[in-house]
């Protein structure tokens, strides 16, 4: 039952989230141009009802049809929902947002079953005729069904739900919903709750009163801010304390609430802080009749305030501050008490978070690494989360910045798990979403992770797509070797750097890098031939004047230790149509050289550093940049 509810809630969220931009546009039109808006304009305000009663339901129904029936489902979903809209008398009735959540998937299901039935039975030459007429005729029939039955029925359901919310509001019981909202958020049902349940009810209220408190129940950034402030100012663990300020920026300004969930999982009793903080905020908002004009998505303070009526901005700020202050005041002493007894580390909490997501789908926890087939052919990596607007966006941005210098040929984007493009080579998803990802992109290689910000599988993926090899295991036979490996440091020394070299051929440059690796004791001489063989498969030129030659996977047995060497060719070495001024030779065991590779990538972010590195004769400066 729990898994069924989660899947249902996520499906509702998946219909609404891709269309949040339209909700925001409608919210701004409402906030700006209605008679009591910021800049009243009767003509522009007339856009409001058309968006609410037609554009938004059609977008939701089309998305719902697409999720079930693909592109044909999108079209028939849009047709079908018009029947439900007309069935409640268009702009004279109720907004059919919840009706769209029924009509769209229903229409998508019908066309999907029709296509399955016709598969292999369609007369040659009649495909276009049958495809077009089937969508039109079936769409018309479902629209008629919506007009007479589904539209009026959903209007009655919405009226009951709205009346229930009003009863809770009038009885001052609405604040108690925070008891369920905050724990549900930590269980990753935040999008399903906010956009699958609260947004449709909020739209109904806003259509009548111009604002709704329903938009504020889940999206308030104050409760999570209080938790993060408690860790920043009160934690004794340096790593956790240092991570909190960055998390505050991402949560409060970026609106990605998932960033604070692991901090609660470290000490679950801290959930009391955001619960009480949100109760106080909802009570305050309810007491002063505060609401937003449209949905706040993401839950950023910027989005929160942008949707506030002009005469209630101060009250909204007070409510957010109240939630943060109370959450902080309760979380801080709990944090001190639990840390004194020895709580979980942030890393452990992130692992638990991954396990919780896996448990919700009945699958195993994420593996630490994933082997990518033929990493040299990877051109598009997609980070996908449930909605495609929160954690996956952050993960894609971080990974894109991480690899852009060494693999500029790879496109890294984010999307929702149900909309992964067909030309995706690698899909990076949380383990809980693996099944949906496989259905969405059956031909892509799947990398499952527990956290988009820091996960061993992402490190392995980075190694593979930047070195174009599969990761290898480190075999330690001598205890003294174990101590050296534990240090995990691949250091550049003057012996590993050659500057001001005269131009040579690509093969000579690769051989020279291999000879430096041999001289450093990192590889056997046969590794040089493996480097030349590797270059024949795919060029190791990475762009921006950088080449990173290395041996093949089969040559890993000739690697004695991890090492990186650098040769500078100010006039450049021809790597195909491009010139490389810096040639980094690599030999790696496991991921010991990953830190130095990342440092090289960091240097490439600074064009001034990169250009100086191509011409300088200061070895000490180069070592400093790569240390």
d(CA 243, CA 398): 16
Indicate whether 242 pLDDT > 80.
yes
Write the DSSP symbol of residue 428. Answer: E
For 479-625, CATH number? 3.40.930.10
Per-residue pLDDT reduced to its tens digit, 343-366: 555 555 555 555 444 444 334 444
Q: What is the pLDDT of residue 324?
A: 97
Question: Looking at residue 485, what is its pLDDT?
Answer: 36
**pLDDT for the residue 394:** 59
Mean of the pLDDT values across residues 260-280? 90
Residue 330 has pLDDT above 90, yes or no: yes
Between 219 and 456, whose confidence is greater?
219
Alpha helices of 506-572 — where are they, by DSSP H? 506-519, 526-537
Taking the C-alpha atoms of residue 429 and residue 417, their distance in angstroms, rounded to an integer, is 8
CB–CB of 337/428 below 8 Å?
A: no
From 385, 424, 441, 603, the catalytic residue:
385
Instruction: Give residue 483's pLDDT.
Output: 36
Q: From residue 240, give the alpha-carbon distance in Å to each of 41, 55, 564.
A: 50, 45, 32
- 63: pLDDT confidence band, cut at 50, 70 and 90? very high
Q: How would you class 125 by CB atoms within 10 Å of its CB: exposed for 0-12, middle for 13-18, buried for 19 or more?
A: exposed
pLDDT, residue 482, reads: 36
Per-residue confidence at 255, pLDDT binned at 50, 70, 90? confident
Q: Is 29 exposed, middle or buried (0-12, 13-18, 19+ CB in 10 A)?
A: buried
The per-residue pLDDT for range 18-37, each reduced to its tens digit, is 887 888 788 788 778 877 77
| In the predicted structure, residue 367 carries a pLDDT above the cut 50 | no
**Highest mean pLDDT out of 73-87, 234-248, 294-308, 438-452:** 73-87
- For the question of residue 385 being annotated catalytic, the response is yes
User: Over pLDDT 90: what percentage of the chain?
Assistant: 27
Exposure class string for 246-276: b at 16+ Cβ within 10 A, else e: ebbebbbebbbbbbbbbbbbbbbebbebbbb
Q: Alpha-carbon distance 512 to 567, whole Å?
A: 8
- Say whether pLDDT at 165 is over 80: no
pLDDT at residue 135 in the model: 95
Picking from 141-150, 188-197, 444-453, which range would have the lowest pLDDT averaged per residue? 188-197
For residue range 470-519, list pLDDT tens digits in order: 443 333 333 333 333 333 456 788 888 999 999 899 999 999 999 998 99
The mean per-residue pLDDT over the stretch 195-207 comes to 75
Neighbours of 391 (CB within 10 A): 25
**Structural contact between residues 345 and 266, judged by C-beta atoms closer than 8 angstroms:** yes
Q: What is the CATH number of domain 364-467?
A: 3.40.50.2300
pLDDT greater at residue 205 or residue 494:
494
Q: Which of 441, 550, 593, 603 is catalytic?
A: 550
Q: What pLDDT is attached to residue 598?
A: 58
Give the pLDDT confidence score for residue 57 in this predicted structure: 92
The average pLDDT across 552-580 equals 81
Question: So what's the pLDDT on residue 28?
Answer: 81
441 in catalytic set: no
The pLDDT tens digits for 135-164 are 999 999 999 999 999 999 988 887 787 787
Phi then psi dihedrals of residue 523, to 5 deg: -140, 165
Contact of 14 with 386, CB cutoff 8 Å:
yes
Average pLDDT over residues 442-450: 81
Domain range summary for the chain, segments of one domain joined by +: 364-467, 479-625
What's the pLDDT at 200?
A: 73
| Calpha distance 582→614 (Å, rounded) | 6
Please tell me which residue, 105 or 443, carries the higher pLDDT value. Answer: 105
């Amino acid at each position: 039952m729990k898994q069924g509810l989660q899947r249902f809630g996520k499906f509702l969220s998946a219909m609404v989230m891709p269309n949040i931009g339209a909700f925001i546009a409608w919210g701004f039109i409402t906030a700006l141009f209605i008679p009591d808006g910021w800049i009243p304009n009767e003509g522009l305000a007339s856009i409001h009802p058309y968006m609410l009663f037609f554009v938004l339901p059609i977008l939701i129904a089309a998305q719902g049809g697409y999720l079930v029936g693909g592109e044909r489902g999108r079209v028939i979903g849009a047709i079908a929902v018009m029947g439900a809209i007309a069935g409640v008398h268009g702009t004279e009735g109720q907004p059919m947002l919840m009706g769209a959540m029924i009509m769209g998937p229903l229409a998508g299901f019908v066309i999907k079953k029709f296509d399955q039935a016709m598969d292999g039975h369609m007369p040659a030459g009649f495909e276009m005729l049958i495809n077009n007429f089937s969508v039109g005729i079936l769409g018309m029939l479902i629209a008629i069904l919506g007009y007479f039955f589904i539209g009026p029925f959903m209007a009655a359901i919405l009226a009951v739900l709205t009346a229930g919310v009003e009863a809770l509001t009038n009885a001052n019981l609405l604040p108690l919903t925070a008891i369920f909202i905050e724990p549900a958020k930590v269980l990753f049902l935040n999008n399903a709750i906010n956009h699958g349940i609260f947004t449709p009810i909020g739209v109904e209220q806003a259509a009548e009163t111009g604002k709704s408190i329903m938009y504020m129940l889940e999206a308030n950034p104050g409760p999570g801010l209080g938790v993060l402030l408690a860790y920043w100012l009160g934690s004794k663990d340096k790593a956790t304390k240092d991570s909190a300020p960055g998390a505050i920026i991402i949560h409060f300004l970026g609106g990605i609430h998932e960033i604070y969930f692991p901090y609660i999982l470290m000490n679950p009793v801290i959930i009391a802080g955001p619960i009480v903080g949100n109760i106080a905020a909802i009570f305050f908002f309810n007491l002063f009749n505060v609401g937003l004009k449209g949905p706040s998505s993401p839950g950023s303070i910027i989005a929160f305030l942008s949707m506030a009526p002009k005469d209630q901005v101060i009250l909204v700020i007070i409510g957010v501050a109240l939630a943060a202050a109370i959450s902080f005041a309760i979380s801080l002493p709990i944090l001190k008490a639990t840390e004194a007894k020895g709580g979980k580390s942030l890393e452990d909490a992130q692992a638990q978070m991954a396990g919780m997501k896996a448990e919700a789908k009945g699958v195993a926890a994420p593996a630490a690494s994933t082997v990518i087939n033929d990493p040299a052919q990877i051109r598009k990596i997609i980070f996908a989360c449930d909605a495609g607007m929160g954690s996956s966006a952050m993960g894609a941005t971080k990974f894109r910045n991480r690899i852009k210098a060494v693999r500029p040929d790879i496109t890294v984007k984010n999307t929702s798990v149900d909309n992964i493009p067909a030309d995706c080579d690698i899909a990076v998803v949380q383990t809980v979403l693996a099944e949906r990802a496989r259905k969405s992109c059956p031909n892509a290689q799947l990398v499952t992770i527990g956290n988009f910000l820091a996960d061993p599988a992402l490190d392995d993926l980075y190694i593979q797509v930047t070195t174009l090899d599969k990761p290898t295991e480190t075999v330690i036979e001598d205890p003294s070797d174990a101590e050296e490996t534990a240090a995990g440091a691949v250091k550049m020394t003057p012996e590993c750097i050659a500057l001001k070299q005269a131009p040579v051929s690509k093969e000579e440059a690769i051989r020279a890098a291999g000879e430096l690796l041999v001289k450093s004791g990192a590889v056997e001489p046969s590794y040089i031939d493996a480097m030349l063989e590797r270059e024949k498969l795919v060029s190791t030129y990475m762009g921006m004047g950088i080449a990173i030659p290395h041996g093949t996977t089969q040559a890993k047995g000739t690697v004695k230790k991890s090492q990186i060497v650098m040769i500078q060719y100010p006039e450049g070495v021809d790597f195909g149509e491009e010139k490389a001024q810096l040639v980094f030779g690599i030999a790696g065991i496991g991921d010991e050289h990953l830190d130095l590779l990342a440092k090289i990538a960091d240097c490439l972010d600074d064009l001034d550093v990169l250009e100086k590195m191509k011409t300088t004769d200061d070895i000490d400066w180069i070592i400093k940049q790569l240390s």
